[in-house]
Amino acid sequence: MKRYSAFAIAREALRHHSGWDRAWAAPAPKKRYDVIIVGAGGHGLATAYYLGKNHGITNVAVLEKGWLGGGNTGRNTTIIRSNYLQDSSSAIYEKARSLYETLSQDLNYNVMFSPRGVMMLAQTEHEKRGYLRTAHANALQGVETEFVGPDRVRQLCPIINIDGPRYPVLGALWQPRGGTARHDAVAWGYARACSAMGIDIIQQCEVTGVRSEGGKVTGVETSKGAIDCAKLGMVVAGHSGVLAEMAGFRLPIESVALQALVSEPIKPCMDVVVMANTVHGYMSQSDKGEMVIGGGADGYNNYTQRGSFHHIEETVRALVETFPMISRLKMLRQWGGIVDMTGDRSPILSRTPLDGCFINCGWGTGGFKAIPGSGWGFAELMATGASPLTAEFGLERFREGRFVDESVAAGVAH
């Protein structure tokens, strides 16, 4: 794999750009792999990358039924933060955030990480007390956050209406080293690095069955034939329940759509990410000038990847009160992604009842921010059988009542 650099760009300019290689190879599947990862989204590709980089396991196939990064990785609002309340949650998200800071250098691919800061507005006294509690917890966890007052909020984001008629801004939980990254670039960067290590990325290869013998996984059936493996990792987000059923076990998750939209591009007016959880809307401005807007998940189970009118109405209505200027903008496009929600709104990174089979799912609406940390911990779990990052997120916690409750603690599932 040729390294990307300013010198490479200059060299190829003189060659009329005829010397660039494919970013990643498109091999035919082999008969057998040490590890098969199902799902070529951010989490699946990150798992494959850290299996190779950290554990020297490169006889790996990443199978994708569609196109690389075409699921939730390419259908989110790119927010990166780690200011969670529970210690186990904070640890894996902070690991991810710290890896994002050097990810472009590690992958030799510009993922456009922008540590612009994330601000979570407190618009009720109850929410203010909750964020003060989180700020104290983050201090103990070594996560850099602080609670700031309304004047500081206005200074950080001048377009906010501090004195809203229903929900005035009482302050905010501020994480200055949070931010955003380019979602497609994260997937492409991991894919390119995986391919350079000899890991096979096989697109348009749908898994149709899981084969086992004596309670141990032996391989998968796919639209491109049977493939054997010693270990199987399932990393397919909203379709986790479908794949788990093929393997003979059930998951405590529900799949719902999460929608988002962007406005027409405008001049720079907002250089932070703002989440308003009381009215349930969040917004940032992309490098192209679009206002990136999201809200809550749909209230019913579904597998749609489309937008809907009720989402525009509810989310934009909530945000117009806090950001009056957006009432004059036109919507450019809208989309949806399929998210898998657990009862405690925390992920599952775990062994399964089928020996040699591992599951990574349940990230709900917060999957993108966790990609590097998730891949790091899940690769360690698959390679060695245990990881301190994933220890609290096993399937057995639902049977034992050891919930990692972020739905109440964080005040929002994002």
| 3-state SS, residue 36 | strand
Distance CA 2, CA 191 (A): 14
- Please give the model's pTM, rounded to 2 decimal places: 0.94
Of 167, 153, 161, whose CA–CA distance to 324 is shortest? 161
What Rg value do the Cα atoms of the chain yield, rounded?
A: 21
Supply angle C-alpha 347, 352, 358, rounded to 5.
70
Domains of the chain, CATH where assigned: 32-82+84-109+183-252+344-409 (3.50.50.60), 118-178+255-341 (3.30.9.10)
CA distances from 148 to 84, 94, 129, 273 (A): 17, 21, 12, 15
| Residue 124 CA, distance from chain mean position | 28
Residue 386, exposed/middle/buried by CB under 10 A (0-12, 13-18, 19+)? exposed
In this prediction, residue 306 carries a pLDDT of: 80
Residues of the chain scoring pLDDT < 50: 409-411, 413-414
pLDDT tens-digit readout, 245-284: 999 999 999 999 889 999 999 999 999 999 998 888 899 9
